[in-house]
Structure 1
């Protein structure tokens, strides 16, 4: 019997008992359906996270803050006029322990750090279009806009070198400020209102250079260095030293083409610890989020695996019964010269056929249902996160699920196939 004949015979024999085979295929369908969805969920979330991280960092920066060290003595800490300021001192807009100029100097002195930028946290009360200054809307300024890149719907990124005040507006402010669309808002002048350190209301004008989509890691409007510095200076209490909640350390790399390596990051982090500072990459900050997401996906995947294990017993049962029912047929095939290997291959292929049908059917239905579900969620629950495709069906992932289930089916069919191959042809022909 040729190999092609073995394939055709295996496919035909798989459906000799249609009900039994159909039930086995359906049990595989459940596992394939669940596994395909969880794989797509993991791919979709991780793809979105990676794209968002790329807007904040190219891998060569550390976000530096005061270390979370505390005095272990009982009672309040002793006042140190030369020490770090706390929230409400010097910069009433920040919270927690703040960096001072001495900290910035210490960061800059670390070998491997080429540049340090302090991140100023400023407060803007409202924004209005210059053509209608009485229609005011609350606005927050994203403090990381000076180090990141926005996910733009229109316009350009902020120019941190210019002395002109620039703003990147959130997309949901376009209609509120009376602009026809995102493109229409680019180049327009807006008015920002805030209160300075003397509690005086101040109004400044800024140019809209871009409109940004909502992002998982960047909330509020973006402001360039010129605007942020101006507002921060105005809101600093006179006579008090400047303080910052965060600083950005730009690193020199020792890798190929100046790329920053893990070793470079580890060396700078250790130097920061010695200076009572803490450094984190953007990926470090996302570690907890990704751990939670991967944990949820892992639980869902476990359910799929349990379903597949149950289905594998169904395959074993189906093929064992098939071997028993076809005992005389097996004896006849072996009497006509079919080798043990071909008999083993015939029954193994039957298992693989069942595995392919269950996995392919489950994957196709998962893609259809998942695509519809993802489309609905993107218009409702996930409407504030444009660009997030919660279920991303990658061809490699779908093919991987099908292959894995076919392998499980093959392994499940080894015992029945081995039993069929080892049968004695004479005894099989006598079987009633």
Structure 2
């Protein structure tokens, strides 16, 4: 029997018992469906993270904050007058401990650090059109890490940290609220920020809108350059108290071509910071934390699909063992007519592969159809504030890989029945009743 005849016979024999084959295919369908969806989820998240890194990372800055404490002693810690000051508000990145001027000096002394800009804790109460009424005020959150990289801009330019002009990059959803026709119309306009000083007196400052930013995983809230940040921080600092900072931004100098910052440069600076109990993180590091958590969730979901595939593999074994038993005399006849053990083994192995292909292909196609609809609905609804995120991204390479993996599982499941068929004695098989 030629190879083409073996494939044709295997395909036809797979449907001898339609109900049994259908149930086996459905069991594989569940695993393929789940695995395709979880793979698409991982691809979508990783693609979005990569886009975020490309859009907001400059690659040459580190956010620096005190390293997390590793003290494991029971009970309260002894008082240490030299310890860093605790923050009264949560640190968005660090351990709730503030930096001081000595820390800034240590950061600046690190080889590879060109400049250090401290981020002072500030609180802005509201934003309003310049000269607007109380009814036109809106709450505003300022992103303390706005100087670490670029904003994902809809319109305008990036912040100029060296400028003496007070600048702000507003989130896109403030455009309509503040009465601007569109994002482009807001560029160059002035808005008023309200805040309270150390005596709780109400103050305000005018800032120029230089950019309108999309919402992203990191770039939440508004970004401001150093000029308004320093003015507000000075007003809110308590006289007589030492200067403290929630984080610091270290600008690196590179050893690569043209002064480019290389990964080795970043790692070297991180190690030197660790030696003085400080932690440095890039944009990639921060997004990597989010990515790790999501990948862990995806891994758990994928484990369920693997369990479903294992259960389905027992179904394939059962289906083919019953087929071998029912076709014992047929196997004996084929071997008596000269079919080799290898051909018999191939015939039954291919039956398993056909079943695996049907289950995986149908499951993958169903996942693509349903997942595409779900992704579109989420992008227009709950995930509308994260433009560019396709929560389920079906990469053809990944889909084909899922199908091939399930076909391999099916083939391995069919090895035992196929070996049993190949090793049967033709005389005994022909006598089988």
TM-score in same-fold range (> 0.5): yes
Question: What is the aligned partner in structure 1 of residue 22 from structure 2?
Answer: 22
Question: What is the aligned partner in structure 1 of residue 190 from structure 2?
Answer: 189
Question: What is the aligned partner in structure 1 of residue 7 from structure 2?
Answer: 7
**Which has the higher mean CA deviation after the structures are superposed, 249-258 or 137-146?**
249-258
Question: What is the aligned partner in structure 2 of residue 47 from structure 1?
Answer: 47
Question: What is the aligned partner in structure 2 of residue 139 from structure 1?
Answer: 140
In the TM superposition, what is the alpha-carbon distance from 1:12 to its structure 2 partner?
A: 1.4
Output aligned runs, 1:202-351, within 5 Å. 202-253=203-254, 263-286=264-287, 289-351=290-352
SS in 1 for 2:203: strand
In the TM superposition, what is the alpha-carbon distance from 1:19 to its structure 2 partner?
A: 0.9
Maintained 8 Å contact 1:95/1:245? no
Work out the CA distance in 1 between the residues paired with 2:194 and 2:62.
32
2:430 counterpart of 1:424: no
SS in 2 for 1:382: coil
Q: Alpha carbons of 1:156 and 1:288: their partners in 2 closer, same or farther (altered >3 Å)?
A: closer
Q: Alpha carbons of 1:244 and 1:356: their partners in 2 closer, same or farther (altered >3 Å)?
A: same
Work out the CA distance in 2 between the residues paired with 1:125 and 1:305.
51
Output aligned runs, 1:119-130, within 5 Å. 119-130=119-130
TM-score, normalising length from structure 2? 0.88
In the TM superposition, what is the alpha-carbon distance from 1:300 to its structure 2 partner?
A: 1.4
In the TM superposition, what is the alpha-carbon distance from 1:35 to its structure 2 partner?
A: 0.9
**Which has the higher mean CA deviation after the structures are superposed, 128-137 or 106-115?**
128-137
**Which has the higher mean CA deviation after the structures are superposed, 110-119 or 266-275?**
266-275
Name structure 1 gaps, 5 residues minimum: none
Q: Alpha carbons of 1:413 and 1:85: their partners in 2 closer, same or farther (altered >3 Å)?
A: closer
Q: Alpha carbons of 1:74 and 1:125: their partners in 2 closer, same or farther (altered >3 Å)?
A: closer
SS in 2 for 1:146: coil
Q: Alpha carbons of 1:74 and 1:143: their partners in 2 closer, same or farther (altered >3 Å)?
A: closer
TM-score, normalising length from structure 1? 0.88
Q: Deviations over 1:316-338 (max 9, x none)?
A: 11112222222232233333333
Work out the CA distance in 2 between the residues paired with 1:214 and 1:226.
23
In the TM superposition, what is the alpha-carbon distance from 1:38 to its structure 2 partner?
A: 1.2
Q: Alpha carbons of 1:330 and 1:68: their partners in 2 closer, same or farther (altered >3 Å)?
A: closer
Q: Deviations over 1:283-329 (max 9, x none)?
A: 44456544432332222111111111111111111112222222232
Work out the CA distance in 2 between the residues paired with 1:422 and 1:70.
63
Output aligned runs, 1:29-40, within 5 Å. 29-40=29-40
Q: Deviations over 1:32-77 (max 9, x none)?
A: 1111111112222233333334445344433211334599897763
Q: Deviations over 1:357-394 (max 9, x none)?
A: 00000011111111222222233333333332222211
Question: What is the aligned partner in structure 2 of residue 77 from structure 1?
Answer: 79
In the TM superposition, what is the alpha-carbon distance from 1:16 to its structure 2 partner?
A: 1.3
Work out the CA distance in 1 between the residues paired with 2:55 and 2:238.
33
Q: Deviations over 1:74-108 (max 9, x none)?
A: 7763546xx7544469xxxx994322222111111
2:131 counterpart of 1:116: no
**Which has the higher mean CA deviation after the structures are superposed, 310-319 or 157-166?**
157-166
Work out the CA distance in 2 between the residues paired with 1:128 and 1:317.
71
Work out the CA distance in 2 between the residues paired with 1:283 and 1:218.
13
In the TM superposition, what is the alpha-carbon distance from 1:133 to its structure 2 partner?
A: 4.4
Work out the CA distance in 2 between the residues paired with 1:411 and 1:330.
21
Maintained 8 Å contact 1:61/1:251? yes
Work out the CA distance in 2 between the residues paired with 1:362 and 1:417.
25
Work out the CA distance in 2 between the residues paired with 1:185 and 1:395.
42
In the TM superposition, what is the alpha-carbon distance from 1:113 to its structure 2 partner?
A: 2.1
**Which has the higher mean CA deviation after the structures are superposed, 96-105 or 251-260?**
251-260
SS in 2 for 1:214: coil
**Which has the higher mean CA deviation after the structures are superposed, 409-418 or 286-295?**
286-295
CA RMSD of aligned residues (A): 2.9
